[in-house]
A = this chain, B = another copy of it.
Amino acid sequence: MTKIPYKIFLSEDELPKTWHNVRAVMKEKPDPFINPATLKPCTADDLRPVFCDELIEQELNTTDEFIEIPEGIRDFYKMYRPSPVVRAYNLERMLDTPAKIYYKFEGQNTSGSHKLNSAAAQVYYAKKQGLTHLTTETGAGQWGTALAMACAFYGIELTVYMVKVSAEQKPHRRAVIQTYGGKVIASPSETTEVGKKILAENPGCGGSLGCAISEAMEVALKTDNCRYVLGSVLNHVLVHQTIIGQEAKAALDKYGVTPDIIIGCAGGGSNLGGLISPFMADKIRGKNNIEFIAVEPASCPSLTRGKYAFDFGDTGKTTPLMRMYTLGSGFMPSPNHAGGLRYHGMSPIISKLYHDGYLTATSVEQTKVFDAATIFAKCEGTLPAPESSHAIRVAIDEALKCKETGEAKNILFGLTGTGYFDMTAYTAYHDGKMTDYITNEKEKQKGFDSLPKVDL
C-alpha cells in the first residue's frame, strides 16, 4: 500500500460541490419545530421574520440528500479549504498504539475553527436576499470571529452579542471581531428588553449563550433589513458543516481507509454532525458499522444527562420549540468551565440519531481534557482548542484501549480548532489552578424545571 502522508490534502477541484443532508437518509426524521404560540409545526412563514429565506428552506428540507453549494460560497471556501486530514504519526508513536489515528483539521483559518464553513454560507445568502445587517451571539468567540470575517468579505454590517464572561476573559478575540469590522456588545446588556430583564433579576450575571441568543434575536426582529444568524444547533448549520465530513471521507477513500471509530466534540452538535454526516448515511444504509462517539464536557452534559424533550433554544424562551436532548434553557454551566460547548441543548439531528442508537456519547472532565491537549500539542505541534481537546481525550483513550487489545483500529476525530485565544485556560491548567466540575443533581433539576410544560 502507498504510504499515507502526514497530511492528506484534496485539490481545489475536489472541494465538494454539494452539502450533505443526512435527514434525507434517516429512517425516522427529527420532530419538526413547534411554534410555541400555536403548538403546531413551524412553517417557513413563522421563521421568516428571524431567518434568511434560503436558510429556512434548508432548515426544513428533510428530503434532498444533496444541496448545491453556490459558486459564491465555494469561492470563499477556496481561501481556506479543502482542509487536511492529518495522520497523527507522532501521537501514535508516543502512545505506542497499534491504532491508526487521523484527524480532520479545521483550525487553519483566522476564526480558528470550523465555524467559518457556516458563516460564509449564511452571510452569502443574507447578501443575496438584499439584507444589510446581521446579529448573532458568540460564546468562546469563534463563531463571532467567523461571522465577522464573512461579513467583511461579503459587505454586511454585523452586531455580535458576546457572552459577558467571554468578552472579559478574551479581549483579544473581541479585538479580532472588531478588526474585521464587527460591533461587539457584552451580553446581557442594556441594549435589549430581554437583557434589561435578566440584569434586573441578576445584575452580576456573566451571561450564557441562551441569553445572548435572546438579545440578538430581539434586535434582528426590530431592525430593518436585518436577520439573526446562529452558529450551531440548527439543521442548516449542520448541513453546511458537512463539507468537513465529505472532505474527510474523500481524503480517506484515496488511501482505502475506512474509520472504525469517529469522534467529535459536541456543544451544539454542528461540528460533530458535519463530520459524521456522510459516514452516518452509509451506516444507516447498512454499508458500514462505524462507532460514532459524541464527547461533551461533564459540566454541560446535554446528551449523557439531559432529557429528550421539546425545549426553547434560548434563555428568553423566544425561539420555536425543538425536540432535542436538553438540560433545560434555564441551565447555566459552571463558571469554572473553560472554552465553548456550553449550550444547554443539542442539535435535533444529533439528538434523534443518538435517541435511535446510531451514535454513543460520553462526557469528560476538563483537567483530563487539558492533559490530552498538552500531549497532543507536544507530539503533533498544533495547540488545540479546549473544545477540540474533548475529542482528543477520547481518541487517546480509544487508542490506549487498542494498545491493550492489540487491535489496529482506524480512529478519526475532528480537530475543530486551535487554542490560541484560550491561553488563560491553558495557564490555569499549567499553574494547577484548573478544577473539574461535574454538574450536580440540584443544578440539573433546576434546568429541567425550566422545560416548557407542553402536551403535543
Contact = CB atoms under 8 A, between A and B. Distances in A.
Interface of A: 5-7, 9, 11-12, 78-80, 90, 108-110, 112, 149, 152-153, 171-172, 175-176, 178-181, 374, 377-383, 418, 420-421, 423-424, 426-427, 430
A153 B379 contact: yes
Given A153-B381, A175-B427, A381-B149, A79 B6 contact: yes
B377 A426 contact: no
Given A153-B378, A179-B423, 9 more contacts: A7-B12, A9-B9, A109-B381, A152-B378, A172-B423, A175-B424, A175-B430, A176-B420, A179-B377
A94 to B, nearest CB: 10
Contact of A381 (B80, B179, B380): B80
A71 to B, nearest CB: 13
Contacts of A423: 171-172, 175-176, 179
Nearest to A420: B420
Q: State the copy count for this chain.
A: 2
Nearest to A84: B9
B108 A108 contact: yes
Contact of A383 (B5, B179, B374, B418): B179
Contacts of A418: 110
A353 B430 CA distance: 46
A381 B80 CA distance: 8
Contacts of A12: 5-7
Contact of A78 (B5, B79, B80, B172): B5
Contacts of A108: 108
A109 B382 contact: yes
Contacts of A171: 423, 427
A78 B423 CA distance: 26
A361 B153 CA distance: 32
A356 to B, nearest CB: 38
A426 B148 CA distance: 15
Given A110-B377, A153-B90, A179 B426 contact: yes
A383 B110 contact: yes
Nearest to A173: B423
B175 A172 contact: no
A5 B9 CA distance: 14
B180 A378 contact: yes
Contacts of A172: 172, 420-421, 423-424
A375 to B, nearest CB: 10
Contacts of A374: 179
Contacts of A11: 5
Contacts of A152: 377-378
Nearest to A428: B175
Contacts of A110: 377, 381-383, 418, 420
Contact of A6 (B78, B149, B426): B78
A261 to B, nearest CB: 23
B176 A383 contact: yes
22 contacts: A7-B12, A109-B382, A110-B420, A149-B381, A152-B377, A153-B378, A153-B379, A153-B381, A171-B427, A172-B172, A172-B420, A172-B423, A175-B424, A175-B426, A175-B430, A176-B383, A178-B427, A179-B423, A179-B426, A179-B430, A180-B377, A420-B421
A430 B108 CA distance: 24
A188 B225 CA distance: 56
A75 to B, nearest CB: 8
